[in-house]
Amino acid sequence: QLAAVHLVDSHYCTDPGKFISVLCTSLSTMLHVELPHVNVLSKMDLLEQYGKLAFNLDYYTEVLDLSYLVEHLASDPFFRNYRRLNEKLVEVIEDYSLVSFVPLNVQDKESMRQVMQAVDKANGYSFGDQEHRSLEALMSAAVGADFHFTSTLAVQERYVQAQDKTVEEEAMEL
């Protein structure tokens, strides 16, 4: 049983234009490859080095209301001329409603486990007779939703703590 795993560097989240192109690439790949598909935001441990996110991390992993992203793009003089194009691209992504991401930090065992569970669920391995079935895995399969909010929250908390440390260090230098 095969599943496609699409790894995307998390630094694309810091630039709205690049994130929209990643969403389009992920959606196109999902539609053309015709395999169960898992999108992974990799290098989450390095996210604070790339800069500040415009929105919370769950906005990027769950691909929430993208109109906010288009509004954020409108502040950039280059993208202001392409507002209508960006609105249409976002509309296509939202109409399909297929793209979401699982955060991956290779230094965190729980993060690795979440990605493995997502892949196992995508290729049907989690439904096998030999696999131990937890209530969380069964509920995820039953309602068609992934319960990895806690892993996203943990990554978000580490990111915010790193940002707070940076602000404190800058204040100490002044």
DSSP conformation class of 66:
T
- Band (pLDDT 50/70/90 cuts) for residue 86 is confident
pLDDT at 135 over 80: no
Q: Which domain holds residue 150?
A: 4-173
> Of residues 82 and 144, which shows the higher confidence score?
82
What does the pLDDT read at residue 140? 58
What does the pLDDT read at residue 77? 77
Mean pLDDT, the chain, rounded, equals 79
Per-residue pLDDT of 20-61, as tens digits, reads 889 999 999 998 988 899 999 999 888 878 878 878 888 888
* Token code pair at residue 42: 């990799």
Q: Which of 74-88, 92-106, 159-173 has the lowest mean pLDDT?
A: 159-173
> Is residue 2 helix, strand or coil?
coil
Could you give the CA distance from residue 84 to residue 160 in angstroms, rounded to a whole number? 33
With left for phi above 0 and alpha for psi between -120 and 50, is residue 97 left, alpha or beta?
Answer: left
Helical residues (DSSP H) of 47-148, grouped into ranges = 47-50, 57-62, 67-74, 77-80, 83-96, 109-123, 135-143
The answer to whether residues 26 and 39 touch, using CB atoms and an 8 Å cutoff, is yes
What does the pLDDT read at residue 28? 92
The answer to whether residues 148 and 102 touch, using CB atoms and an 8 Å cutoff, is yes
**37 beta partners:** 4
Give the pairing type, strands 4-9 and 37-42. Answer: parallel
Number of domains present in the structure of the chain: 1
User: What is the rounded average pLDDT of the residues 88-102?
Assistant: 87
User: What is the rounded average pLDDT of the residues 131-159?
Assistant: 58
The answer to whether residues 58 and 101 touch, using CB atoms and an 8 Å cutoff, is no
Percentage of the residues of the chain whose pLDDT score is greater than 90: 18
Could you give the CA distance from residue 133 to residue 66 in angstroms, rounded to a whole number? 35
